[in-house]
Amino acid sequence: MKKENTSNAPLVAVDLFAGAGGFSLAAILAGFSIDFAVENEKFAIQSYKNNICKLPGGKETVVFEKSIMEYDPSKIREERFCNRSCDLLLGGPPCQGFSTHRILDAGVNDPRNELVLAYFDFVKALTPRIFLMENVPGIMWDRHKSYLSKFYEEGRKAGYRLFPPAVLNARDFGVPQRRKRVFILGLRKDVDSKDFVWPPEPTHYAPQKSRDGMAPWLTCAHVFDSAPANDSTDIHMNHGPKLVEAFKNTPINGGSRRDSRRVLRCHEKHDGHKDVYGRIDPSMPAPTMTTACINPSKGRFVHPTEHHGITVRQAARIQTFPDNFTFVGGLTAAGRQIGNAVPVELGKFLIKYIKTNLIDRVPDQVSLGALAHLNEQEVELA
């Protein structure tokens, strides 16, 4: 029988589809150590090692560097969790197949969607007390219902209580960014969840609706303060004269493609993508940092006052990475790592909330072997 962690023992987490380590860093800041992470993108792997593996909660972390599909979760369990349990399993399967930027039926039966079920193979093998999966809201579209339903079905069979998908906006939890993501929380059935509420209530509100004792949304103004000296990530794209002229035409602290007077052939066919070449308004939370967040032609990613796109450091600050966190691979690779990450402060808040209300409350007294004897409960999607 595996030894269950108590409130006095170090808490152990695992991070799948770890990217550069946003979720791992959040877990470490919330009081966990990372036993192992799985990631197969070479630049993200190096960024993870350069940052997470140098922290107290990450120095013993093993990074598995192949596709998650190439690993046998049972063998990893035998190697890594032979005499102890996993407290928390994290991870956000690649979300491109579910993205709102996909049109018509794009993403239906996308092979990448199978990664969602691969994630759950690790849940079944490691039997963590708690798992938390992150993805884009598009995962809840009808066209992806079969995958989400399968995820919940497998959870029930494995002895987990799954809460309905929770769509959370990062700006409501102290992140200076408008970013909606889905979080699915699963609890092993022996976890005491009496009176537990999921999702947590927002901590921040629109200024005009701010409640007593609650903070207003954080603006992104501080993001554009000077970067630390010799910061290798304080870099932005180099733009040609025509693009710089378009930025000069765009009003300070706002504006859009129409203001820039830059019209491409694709713009002649339709009037969409109005945010491209738009400036970020520092008086508000920033727009969602996508994987192309350093490219002004892909969204509202122009500096509020200067005539260029935002820097890697500015994008990282919007995702609440600390200024000593660095990214490997150049501009495009760094933007991809930043855009794919869970905002660090949002992840930290959610994991601390889970830790306080589920793990710290009462030591888990039910052994893993008893799970098979627990009554199965039906899980309904919201």
Distance CA 293, CA 287 (A): 9
Asked whether 211 and 182 are in contact (CB, 8 A), the reply is no
Tell which residue, 94, 96, 97, 114, has the closest CA to residue 39.
Answer: 94
CA 237 to chain CA centroid, Å, is: 25
The pair of three-digit structure tokens given for residue 293, joined into one six-digit string: 């967040």
Asked whether 315 and 327 are in contact (CB, 8 A), the reply is no
DSSP of 147-196, one letter per residue?
HHHHHHHHHHHTTEEEPPPEEEEGGGGT-SB--EEEEEEEEETTS--TT-
Asked whether 311 and 236 are in contact (CB, 8 A), the reply is yes
Asked whether 118 and 133 are in contact (CB, 8 A), the reply is no
Q: Is 351 left (phi over 0), alpha (psi -120 to 50) or beta?
A: alpha
Active site residue 82: no
User: Which of 95, 220, 266, 293 is the catalytic position?
Assistant: 95
The secondary structure element, H or E, covering residue 348 is helix 344-354
> What residues does 62 pair with on adjacent strands?
36
Enumerate the H helices of 81-173 as residue ranges.
114-126, 145-157
Asked whether 46 and 97 are in contact (CB, 8 A), the reply is no
Positions annotated as catalytic residues are 95
